[in-house]
Structure 1
Amino acid sequence: MSAAYVRSTYGVDFKRGDRVTVNGRPGLVVSFPSQYVGVRFDGEKVTCRCHPTWRIEHAEVSS
């Protein structure tokens, strides 16, 4: 599976390098394992698999 699969199946527009918030935790999209979004949360060393539609949103960009 790939980023294109996740985008077309779940109707999301995440890309590698996007800043996201998952259930209130900020992180960075680093991969697309299986049908999930791989997120490395701030301060963590491991990547977590997150469902593309469960409490995930693009993070607000602060100026």
Structure 2
Amino acid sequence: MSAADVRRMFGVNYKRGERITVDGKPGVIIGFIGQYLQVQFDGEKHSRRAHPTWRVERAS
């Protein structure tokens, strides 16, 4: 799946490089893997996957 597929499938408009918060943890979207967002959380060495609609908010 591509970023466009994720946007269409889940009705979200996230883009690579965008700051978000997932379940209270801030990070940056670094890509899209399957139906998930690939997120580099602040202070973590490795990136993680996050579902695009589960407790995700745009960082303010």
Q: TM-score, normalised by structure 2?
A: 0.97
Deviation (angstroms), 1:45: 1.5
1:2-46 deviation per Cα after TM superposition (whole angstroms, max 9, x unaligned): 100000000001000000000000000001001000010001121
Q: TM-score, normalised by structure 1?
A: 0.93
Match in the other structure for 2:13: 13
Query: How many residues are aligned here?
Result: 60
- In the alignment, the residues of structure 1 paired with residue 11 and residue 38 of structure 2 have an alpha-carbon distance, to the nearest angstrom, of 17
**Structure 2 unaligned regions, length at least 5:** none
**Structure 1 unaligned regions, length at least 5:** none
Deviation (angstroms), 1:57: 1.0
Sequence identity percentage: 57
Give 1 or 2 for the bigger CA radius of gyration.
1
Q: RMSD between aligned alpha carbons?
A: 0.5
